[in-house]
Amino acid sequence: MTDTTDMESGTEAPAARQPPREVPRPTGIGPFGWLRWGWRQLTTMRTALILLFLVALGAVPGSIFPQRGQAPEKVAEYFDEHKTLAPWLDRLSMFDVFAAPWFAAIYILLFVSLAGCVVPRAVKHYRSMRARPPAAPRNLRRLPQSASYETDASPDEVLAEARRVLRGRRFRTDISGGSAAAEKGYLGETGNLLFHLALLAMLFALGMGNLFGYRGDVLLTEGKSFANSLSQYDQFAPGRAFDGDRLAPFSITMDDFTAKYETKGEKRGLATDFRAKIRYRDGPSGKDRPFDLRVNHPLKVGGAKVYLLGHGYSPVFTVRDAKGDIAFQDAVPFLQMEPRNLTSEGVIKAPDAEPEQLAFYAILWPTAVASQDGKQIVSAFPAPLRPVVTVSSFKGDIGLDSGTPQSVYKLEGIGKTLQPVKGGSKLLEPGETLKLPGNAGSITFDGLREWTSVSVNHDPGRLPALVAAVLAVAGVAISFMVRRRRVWVRARAGEGGRTVVEVGGLTLGNPTSEFDDIVTALRGTDDEPGAESGSATETKE
Residues 116 and 144 in one domain: no
Q: What is the DSSP string of 260-297?
A: EE--SSTTTT-EEEEEEEEEEESSTTPPPEEEEEETTB
Tell whether the torsion through CA atoms of 508, 512, 516 and 522 is positive or negative: negative
Report the CATH number at residue 170: 3.30.310.80
In the predicted structure, residue 442 carries a pLDDT above the cut 90:
yes
- Domain membership flag for residue 209: no
Per-residue confidence (pLDDT) for residue 528, from 0 to 100: 42
CB 490 within 8 A of CB 133: no
Closest listed residue to residue 363, CA positions, set 389, 337, 392: 389
Q: Where are the beta strands (DSSP E) in 23-171?
A: 145-151
CB 407 within 8 A of CB 399: no
Span 20-47, pLDDT tens digits: 666 566 566 778 888 888 888 888 888 8
- The pLDDT > 70 percentage for the chain reads 90
Mean pLDDT calculated for residue range 374-398: 90
Per-residue confidence (pLDDT) for residue 450, from 0 to 100: 94
- Domain membership flag for residue 535: no
Residues 285 and 348 in one domain: yes
Residues 266 and 367 in one domain: yes
End-of-domain residue from the set 423, 458, 493: 458
- Domain membership flag for residue 30: no
19 confidence band (pLDDT: 50, 70, 90)? low
How far apart CA 319 and CA 356 sit, in angstroms, is 13
How far apart CA 417 and CA 30 sit, in angstroms, is 70
Mean pLDDT calculated for residue range 323-341: 90
Per-residue confidence (pLDDT) for residue 1, from 0 to 100: 43
In the predicted structure, residue 49 carries a pLDDT above the cut 90:
no
Per-residue confidence (pLDDT) for residue 164, from 0 to 100: 92
- Domain membership flag for residue 463: no
How far apart CA 494 and CA 499 sit, in angstroms, is 5
Q: Which residue has the higher pLDDT, 513 or 345?
A: 345
Residues in the chain: 541
End-of-domain residue from the set 124, 145, 174: 124
CB 89 within 8 A of CB 83: no
Span 78-94, pLDDT tens digits: 888 888 898 898 888 88
Mean pLDDT calculated for residue range 522-538: 47
Class of residue 528 by CB neighbours under 10 A (exposed 0-12, middle 13-18, buried 19+)? exposed
- What's the N-to-C CA distance of the chain in angstroms? 85
- Domain membership flag for residue 452: yes
Residue 509 DSSP SS3: coil
Per-residue confidence (pLDDT) for residue 40, from 0 to 100: 86
Span 301-315, pLDDT tens digits: 988 999 998 889 999
Residues 294 and 372 in one domain: yes
Which of 143-147, 286-290, 431-435 ranks highest by mean pLDDT? 431-435
- The pLDDT > 90 percentage for the chain reads 32
- Domain membership flag for residue 469: no
Mean pLDDT calculated for residue range 324-335: 93
363 confidence band (pLDDT: 50, 70, 90)? very high
Q: For the ranges 157-161, 476-480, 535-539, which has the lowest average pLDDT? A: 535-539
In the predicted structure, residue 432 carries a pLDDT above the cut 90:
yes
Per-residue confidence (pLDDT) for residue 444, from 0 to 100: 95
Amino acid type, 442: S
In the predicted structure, residue 339 carries a pLDDT above the cut 70:
yes
Per-residue confidence (pLDDT) for residue 222, from 0 to 100: 93
In the predicted structure, residue 377 carries a pLDDT above the cut 60:
yes
In the predicted structure, residue 472 carries a pLDDT above the cut 60:
yes
In the predicted structure, residue 214 carries a pLDDT above the cut 60:
yes
Per-residue confidence (pLDDT) for residue 541, from 0 to 100: 33
Residues 317 and 360 in one domain: yes
In the predicted structure, residue 385 carries a pLDDT above the cut 50:
yes
Per-residue confidence (pLDDT) for residue 115, from 0 to 100: 86
How far apart CA 447 and CA 449 sit, in angstroms, is 7
Mean pLDDT calculated for residue range 243-249: 84
Residues 309 and 451 in one domain: yes
In the predicted structure, residue 464 carries a pLDDT above the cut 80:
yes
Per-residue confidence (pLDDT) for residue 246, from 0 to 100: 81
In the predicted structure, residue 360 carries a pLDDT above the cut 70:
yes
In 10 A of CB 307, how many CB atoms?
19
Mean pLDDT calculated for residue range 418-428: 91
Number of structural domains, the chain? 3
CA 97 to chain centre: 12
Per-residue confidence (pLDDT) for residue 507, from 0 to 100: 87
Per-residue confidence (pLDDT) for residue 300, from 0 to 100: 92
12 confidence band (pLDDT: 50, 70, 90)? low
Per-residue confidence (pLDDT) for residue 80, from 0 to 100: 84
Residue 68 DSSP SS3: coil
End-of-domain residue from the set 124, 148, 169: 124
Supply the range of the domain harboring residue 47: 36-124
Which of 215-219, 329-333, 478-482, 526-530 ranks highest by mean pLDDT? 329-333
Residues 286 and 435 in one domain: yes
How far apart CA 385 and CA 2 sit, in angstroms, is 131
Residues 73 and 153 in one domain: no
In the predicted structure, residue 139 carries a pLDDT above the cut 60:
yes
Residues 117 and 142 in one domain: no
How far apart CA 45 and CA 117 sit, in angstroms, is 7
Residues 229 and 298 in one domain: yes
Q: Does the model's pTM come out above 0.75? A: no
Per-residue confidence (pLDDT) for residue 20, from 0 to 100: 63
Closest listed residue to residue 285, CA positions, set 255, 254, 250: 250
In the predicted structure, residue 526 carries a pLDDT above the cut 70:
no
- Domain membership flag for residue 205: no
Residues 87 and 181 in one domain: no
- CA 236-78-73 angle, to 5 degrees, is 30
- Domain membership flag for residue 15: no
Residues 232 and 370 in one domain: yes
Mean pLDDT value across the chain? 85
In the predicted structure, residue 521 carries a pLDDT above the cut 50:
yes
